Amino acid sequence: MFAMQRKKILVAIPVFNESAVFQIVQQIKNFDLDVLVIDDGSTMCLHKELTKVENIRMIVHPRNLGYGKTIIDAFQYAINNGYEYLLTIDGDGQHEPMEIQRFLQEIPFFPFDILSGSRYYFSRNIEEKVPRERYIINRKITSIVNRITGFRLTDSFCGFKAYRVEKLKLLHLTEYGYGMPLQLWMQAWKAGLLIREIPVKLIYIDLTKRFHGILENPDTRMQYYKMIIRKELSDAGYHNAPRSRKQAVRY
C-alpha cells in the first residue's frame, strides 16, 4: 500500500448531466486520489454545483463535444501534469467506484500498459443484465478488434480503465464520439502496447437507455464503429507493420 501511495495517480470522470457523479466523487475520495471531472457541456448547471465540491479538478466544455473528447482531455491533463497513472470511470453510476481498489492493487502493472475493465469477463447470464442490442454489437466489434490486434478482449467498450500515462504519449486520438475506444485499441496495437483485462461488475441501471441521434439506429452505429477501425487500418502504421502482425479481416 505504501508503495502505491507514492505513485502519482489521477482518477478522471467524464460526465454529461449525470447527478450520480457527486456520489462517485465522494466514494473516490476514500482512496485519497486526485480527481478530475470533465463536464461535457451539461445543461443542468452541473459544473456550478461541482465547483462547490472540495479538492477536485475540473475541465468544462462550453457545449457537448462527445465522450471521446472527454477521455482525450483526461489523457492530456494527466500528461501535462506529470501523473504516472490515470484511471477512468464513467459518471453515470454504472461502474462501482469501490472497485477502483482492484486497479490500485495492480499498480505498478508492468509489463502491461493498459488495464481494461471487462463487464463480460465472466459470461454467465450476461444477456439477462444487458440491453441485447448493445451486447450483440459489443461482441461483434470486440471480435473484429481481437482478430486484428490479438488482444483477446471480452469487452472493447468498457470505460473503467487504468493507464500508464507515459505510454499515452504514443497515441494521437482524434475521435470525439462513442467510437473513441476503438481508435484507442487500434493505436495501442500499432504502438505495441500491452493490454490486460480485469473483471468489473456488470451494472446497467436503466436497461431501456438508448443512444440519441443517428447512433440510435443499431446498423448505423455498427457502421460507424467499423469506419473507425477501417480508418486506423488505412494509416501508414498498419501498412508498414511486419507481416506477422497483419491479420486477414472480414466484416
Calpha distance 79→169 (Å, rounded): 7
Calpha distance 116→103 (Å, rounded): 9
Q: What is the mean pLDDT of residues 153-159?
A: 96
> Nearest Cα to 43, choosing from 62, 24, 70, 67?
62
Residue 163 lies in domain: 2-245
- Domain membership flag for residue 250: no
Q: In the chain, how many domains are there?
A: 1
Does 84 or 132 have the greater pLDDT score?
84
- Domain membership flag for residue 251: no
Strand order in the sheet with 9-15: 57-61, 34-40, 9-15, 85-88, 161-164, 114-118, 195-199
- Domain membership flag for residue 20: yes
Q: Give the tens place of pLDDT for each residue, 68-119.
A: 999 999 999 999 999 999 999 999 888 999 999 999 999 999 999 999 999 9
- Domain membership flag for residue 215: yes
- DSSP run (H or E) holding 239: helix 236-239
pTM reported for the whole predicted model: 0.88
- Domain membership flag for residue 116: yes
Kindly indicate the confidence band of residue 244, based on its pLDDT and cuts at 50, 70 and 90: very low
Q: Give the tens place of pLDDT for each residue, 93-106.
A: 889 999 999 999 99
Q: Give the tens place of pLDDT for each residue, 192-227.
A: 999 999 999 987 666 566 666 777 888 999 999 999
User: What pLDDT does residue 75 have?
Assistant: 98
Q: Which amino acid is at 190?
A: K
- Domain membership flag for residue 126: yes
User: What pLDDT does residue 112 have?
Assistant: 98
| CATH assignment of the domain containing 169 | 3.90.550.10
